[in-house]
Structure formats: structure tokens, C-alpha cells
């Protein structure tokens, strides 16, 4: 785990990351930023659950770590409004959902609708929601994977940016598949952030755009490890 602490710099991008748990994808973003993979400052990490380890990861990296416990609010709208006001204080250019276990309503998204990105452990549009690996195995799929996508008000439904596949093995369990998919998440999530910071991806009129061209329904397909280093994509 990186314990490098960084302060404010000349970064033009300001990232707020929303979490609900352990924060391994959060750590992949922190590590990529510390390695200079993208020009951004992570200005806050906000959890909707108290005492999760992701908050400790943020503190170790010198990032403001905030708990906004959703169980302390009367309803979803009240929570989303408070969350939006909290996020707005940090003036973010990008909001990342990193294992954030809450569906954001338009109360929140209307303020940030083109700048919110999520990572989901399935090859969307397949298996929205939970137990994605078990469902892929039960369906007899040959491949599973992860998807980075823009966020809208529906569950795991926004335009896809980037996907990575793993072949399902004959002896696969949900746990072993989850572990293998998570490794791909740690690659493609920082890469998508790099693209955003480099202004290579954007959301325009509900369509994901990459280098000025609309992306296909399932987004770019990650294929080569070598592409990590320069952000390129090939056939």
C-alpha cells in the first residue's frame, strides 16, 4: 500500500472518490496518481459507511477522509442532497464511484452529470447489480470482466467507456473469478481516469466520446498489458 503523502500541486483536475468499503480500487487510483499517470489531485474521499478501511487508505495518503453515513438520514433524497453539497465544497472536475454501494439520484447527478464515473465487476450490460461473478458462472458464460462507465440515475446503466475480459476457467468459483476480475479493475480504472484527465473521453448528449469519436455500446475493449503504459488502444 502506498503511504506517499502529497499536497496541493498544479493539477488542473480535482478528483473526489466515493467509497463504501475496503477501497482496493481507491488504492489503485492513489498509486497511479502518485506514479504520475495523470495530472490530478485527489481532493477528498467520502464514504457512506463508517469505519471502512478505504478511509484509512485515504488518511495514509494524506487525503481528506469523510464519513457521511447514509443510515443517519431520513431518506435517499436527503442523503443525496447532503452528499452533493459536501462534494461541491471540493470543486471537483471528476467524481469516481469506487465500490460505492448507493444508487445516486438526479438530486446528485444533475449537479455533476457529465463528470461521474463508476467501475462495475461485469461486462455490462450483463449482470447489473450484485453477485455478478456467481451469475456469470450460473449462466455458463465463457468470459467475465469489468466495465468503467459514466453514471446516470439508473443502476449500472450509463454509457460504457472501457471493458476488460477474463476467460472463465472450468474450475472457477465466484471467489476466484472475483479475484481475477479485480486485478483487471485495478488496471482499467486508473487508465480511464488518465483518459479523462487528458480530455480524451467525455460524455456528450448521453454518449461516451473517445478522441472525438462515439464509443461502441460496450466501450473500448482492453486487450494488451502494454497499453497501460501510454494509454493507447489497438486492435
| pLDDT in the model for residue 224 | 63
Q: For residue range 97-154, what is the model confidence (pLDDT) as tens digits?
A: 999 999 999 999 999 978 999 999 999 999 999 999 999 999 999 999 999 999 999 9
Q: For residue range 173-204, what is the model confidence (pLDDT) as tens digits?
A: 999 999 999 999 999 999 999 999 999 999 99
pLDDT band with cut points at 50, 70 and 90 for residue 227: very low
Q: How many whole angstroms separate alpha carbon 9 and alpha carbon 39?
A: 9
Catalytic position from the list 4, 72, 120, 186: 120
| pLDDT in the model for residue 167 | 96
For the CA atoms of the chain, what is the radius of gyration?
17
- The number of CA neighbours under 13 Å toward the Cβ of 173 is 3
Give yes or no for residue 226 having a pLDDT over 70.
no
| pLDDT in the model for residue 1 | 32
Q: For residue range 23-73, what is the model confidence (pLDDT) as tens digits?
A: 999 999 999 999 999 999 999 999 999 999 999 999 999 999 999 999 999
Query: Domain-by-domain residue ranges, the chain?
Result: 9-112, 120-145+162-235
Cβ(44)–Cβ(206) below 8 Å: no
Provide the grid cell at 226: 502494454
Domain 9-112 has CATH 3.40.50.170: yes
Interhelix angle for 53-60 vs 24-34, to 10°? Answer: 10
| pLDDT in the model for residue 12 | 84
| pLDDT in the model for residue 91 | 97
| Predicted TM-score of the model (pTM) | 0.90
Active site residue 70: no
| pLDDT in the model for residue 90 | 97
pLDDT band with cut points at 50, 70 and 90 for residue 228: very low
pLDDT band with cut points at 50, 70 and 90 for residue 10: low
Give yes or no for residue 6 having a pLDDT over 90.
no
| pLDDT in the model for residue 235 | 30
Provide the grid cell at 136: 456469470
Cβ(132)–Cβ(144) below 8 Å: yes
Among 219, 166, 171, CA closest to 192: 219
The percentage of the chain sitting over the pLDDT mark of 90, rounded to a whole number, equals 89
Q: How many whole angstroms separate alpha carbon 94 and alpha carbon 116?
A: 6
Q: What is the DSSP letter of 71?
A: G
The CATH-assigned architecture of domain 120-145+162-235 is 3-Layer(aba) Sandwich (3.40)
SS3 215: coil
Amino acid at each position: 500500500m502506498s503511504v506517499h503523502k502529497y499536497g496541493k500541486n498544479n493539477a488542473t483536475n480535482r478528483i473526489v472518490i466515493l467509497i463504501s468499503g475496503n477501497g482496493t480500487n481507491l488504492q489503485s487510483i492513489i498509486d497511479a496518481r502518485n506514479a504520475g499517470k495523470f495530472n490530478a489531485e485527489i481532493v477528498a474521499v467520502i464514504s457512506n459507511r463508517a469505519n471502512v478501511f478505504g478511509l484509512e487508505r485515504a488518511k495514509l495518503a494524506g487525503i481528506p477522509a469523510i464519513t457521511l453515513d447514509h443510515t443517519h438520514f431520513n431518506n435517499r433524497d436527503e442523503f443525496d442532497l447532503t452528499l452533493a453539497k459536501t462534494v461541491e465544497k471540493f470543486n471537483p472536475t471528476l467524481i469516481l464511484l469506487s465500490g460505492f454501494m448507493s444508487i445516486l439520484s438526479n438530486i446528485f447527478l444533475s449537479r455533476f452529470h457529465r463528470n461521474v464515473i463508476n467501475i462495475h465487476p461485469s461486462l455490462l450490460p450483463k449482470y447489473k447489480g450484485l453477485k455478478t461473478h456467481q451469475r456469470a458462472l450460473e449462466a455458463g458464460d465463457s468470459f467475465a470482466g469489468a466495465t468503467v462507465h459514466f453514471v446516470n440515475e439508473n443502476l449500472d446503466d450509463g454509457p460504457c467507456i472501457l471493458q476488460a475480459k477474463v476467460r472463465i476457467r472450468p474450475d472457477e468459483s465466484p471467489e476466484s473469478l472475483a479475484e481475477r476480475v479485480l486485478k483487471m479493475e485495478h488496471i482499467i480504472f486508473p487508465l480511464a481516469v488518465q483518459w479523462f484527465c487528458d480530455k480524451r473521453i467525455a460524455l456528450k448528449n448521453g454518449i461516451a466520446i473517445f478522441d472525438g469519436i462515439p464509443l461502441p455500446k460496450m466501450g473500448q475493449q482492453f486487450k494488451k498489458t502494454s497499453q497501460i503504459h501510454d494509454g493507447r488502444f489497438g486492435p
